[in-house]
């Protein structure tokens, strides 16, 4: 197996988005690209990172590859990437080889990360129909989540009469944000007249805090159904998060 990426910083940015909330990264590499899909131990969140094959400058595979590496091992190595570095990934025995190359400086740096396991458990996405879907600049939704976090531990999302309402309450405090299409939502559609559900604001904050400000975030939910957050990161890949509703 060999993967080459012209801009090492692109891969570093994507891995940093998932490594903070996951102890181990189950990586699958095939003709459809590279993917990481994992479920938290308490089964409250699912994280999916998908990088299509056209984002790689080189992808050599004799067969599909699966492996698990420790998140912090990979994140620490990728932090060593410098501007102008390309990245090469390969497998040497029971280790993941990470090589940075800088053609202008004629510098090559090599690191090795232990592979914890070659067995990757298949995790399927929830099979539910989410009737309400909205998208907005990620910075706007991130600001709202930060506001909610200052008020209470739960975030309530409601849809009714063409409006999306995000709110939270705690003793002596309350917060309400009304979001409409074009203010600031880029799109809003629903197949039901109304729906509401509550989620842990800390779980959602752990997702959105690292999302690039220039991205577009799409959320989908339904009455007491999981929340699906999708982030398309231009010219890099796609991140999908599932968050379970609170009781």
**Sign of the dihedral defined by the CA atoms of residues 76, 212, 24, 31, in that order:** negative
Q: How far apart are CA 61 and CA 59, in angstroms?
A: 6
The yes-or-no verdict on residue 241 having pLDDT over 90 is: yes
Q: Are 158 and 194 in contact (CB under 8 A)?
A: yes
The yes-or-no verdict on residue 148 having pLDDT over 70 is: yes
Q: How far apart are CA 44 and CA 199, in angstroms?
A: 10
| Pairing relationship of beta strands 194-200 and 65-70 according to DSSP bridges | unpaired
| pLDDT, tens digit, 9 for 90 and up, residues 99-108 | 999 988 889 9
The domains located in the chain, with CATH, are 2-114 (3.10.150.10), 132-243 (3.70.10.10)
- Output the pTM of the full model: 0.89
The yes-or-no verdict on residue 212 having pLDDT over 80 is: no
């Amino acid at each position: 197996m060999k993967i080459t990426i012209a801009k090492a910083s692109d891969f570093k940015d994507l891995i940093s988005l998932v490594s903070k909330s996951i102890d181990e990264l189950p990586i699958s590499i095939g003709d459809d690209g590279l993917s990481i899909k994992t479920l938290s131990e308490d089964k409250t969140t699912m994280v999916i990172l998908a990088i299509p094959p056209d984002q790689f400058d080189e992808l050599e595979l004799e067969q599909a590859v699966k492996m698990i590496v420790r998140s912090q091992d990979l994140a620490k190595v990728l932090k060593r990437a410098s501007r102008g570095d390309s990245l090469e990934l390969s497998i040497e025995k029971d280790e993941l080889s990470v090589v940075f190359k800088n053609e202008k400086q004629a510098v090559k740096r090599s690191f090795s990360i232990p592979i914890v396991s070659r067995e990757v458990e298949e995790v399927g996405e929830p099979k539910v129909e989410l009737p309400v879907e909205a998208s907005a600049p990620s910075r706007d939704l991130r600001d709202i989540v930060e506001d909610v976090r200052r008020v209470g531990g739960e975030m309530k999302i409601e849809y009714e009469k063409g409006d999306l309402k995000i709110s939270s309450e705690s003793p002596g405090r309350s917060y309400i944000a009304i979001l409409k299409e074009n203010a600031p939502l880029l799109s809003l559609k629903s197949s039901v007249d109304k729906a509401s559900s509550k989620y842990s604001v800390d779980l959602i904050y752990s997702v959105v805090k690292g999302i690039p400000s220039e991205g577009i975030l799409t959320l989908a939910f339904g009455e007491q159904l999981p929340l699906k957050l999708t982030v398309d990161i231009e010219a890099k890949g796609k991140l999908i998060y599932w968050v379970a509703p609170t009781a």
